[in-house]
Amino acid sequence: QINSVNDSAVEEYRFSEMISDNHIVWTDDRNGNFDIYCIVQGTPEFNIGIVPGSLKLVKTDLPVFRTNNSVTFSVQNYGELYVKDVLIEVTVNRTGNTPFKISYPGFISHLASRANLSFKEPLFRITVKEFIGAIFGYIGVDYITIELIPSGAFPDTNPLDNIDSIDVKFSDIFPIFSIFDG
């Protein structure tokens, strides 16, 4: 809306590239200052989440063994604010054992409002030491959980969509070693 009242504020349209529809900007040219003012009408929504149905276990072709050692998923910024500094934790849950987090979590440094990012997070690195450790560490696996942990100043308006899980058996990760499924 253009202000048409003389001597109140600048009465002509300039330009604006607003962060969201909740922001109001105007210029006051009384006293020759041309000061710029901005207010937020309400609090912008901060809401990120894992896209439902996007979490999947995927294959990695190794020279000797085929294994499904990664998970893929998409993260959506449903809110009106950009998102920054979000930790992505992957937790492996096992029958009769303490759950463990993978050693190298993911990270979202910046995600614009309404934007979407796809991720591929490895469950273990493709080294001999980690491969052998994973064979024994993943015995009894029941499910894998992905959790988004925002570090921003605003609370997430819907934290329930920051967590998603997928049912997984040992043989899903290591098909060649399916005899260890119990």
Predicted confidence at residue 132, as pLDDT, reads 87
Give the domain ranges of the chain.
1-42, 48-177
Lowest-confidence region among 4-18, 59-73, 77-91: 4-18
Beta bridge partners of 100: 92
Please determine, for residue 43, whether its predicted confidence score (pLDDT) is greater than 70. Answer: no
48-177 — its CATH code? 2.60.40.10
Q: What percentage of the chain carries pLDDT values higher than 90?
A: 42
Predicted confidence at residue 54, as pLDDT, reads 98
Dihedral angle of Cα 58, 60, 65, 67, to the nearest 10 degrees: -20
- How much is the CA Rg of the chain, to the nearest whole Å? 24
Please determine, for residue 153, whether its predicted confidence score (pLDDT) is greater than 60. Answer: yes
At 137, phi and psi to the nearest 5?
Answer: -70, -25
Please state, in angstroms and rounded to a whole number, the distance separating the CA atoms of residues 122 and 73: 12
| DSSP element (H, E) containing 148 | strand 141-150
Average pLDDT over residues 160-180: 89
Predicted confidence at residue 35, as pLDDT, reads 73
Helices (H) and strands (E) in the chain, counts: 2, 11
pTM of the shown model: 0.73
Please state, in angstroms and rounded to a whole number, the distance separating the CA atoms of residues 114 and 97: 39
Please determine, for residue 146, whether its predicted confidence score (pLDDT) is greater than 80. Answer: yes
In degrees, rounded to 5, the angle at the alpha carbon of residue 41 between the alpha carbons of residues 4 and 12 is 20
